[in-house]
Amino acid sequence: MRDDPLFWVLAVVMLSVVGILLFGIGSFAKGGEFNKKYANKAMRWRIGAQFVAVVLILLFVWIRGE
């Protein structure tokens, strides 16, 4: 599985989701003007990244499930 390029793309996308989530949580914790400016953007990016991750997971399972 480690030789599969789709696996590595999927791993990078999932780590991106975690990074965006941590950025969003950090902006909530910081609060104030920073939170008002970036909180919604960060959560929109997280939802988009999660969508891509789920699609890639399904694609990976479908292709490798043969």
Q: What is the pLDDT of residue 17?
A: 94
Question: What global pTM score does this model have?
Answer: 0.79
**Inter-residue contact 60 to 7 (CB < 8 Å):** yes
Element (H or E) spanning 3, and its range?
none
| Amino acid at site 20 | I
User: Nearest-5° angle of CA 21, CA 27, CA 33?
Assistant: 150
Express each pLDDT in 5-50 by its tens digit. Answer: 888 999 999 999 999 999 988 888 888 888 888 888 888 999 999 9
Structure tokens at 49: 């990244």
CA dihedral for 58, 7, 5, 16, sign (positive or negative): positive
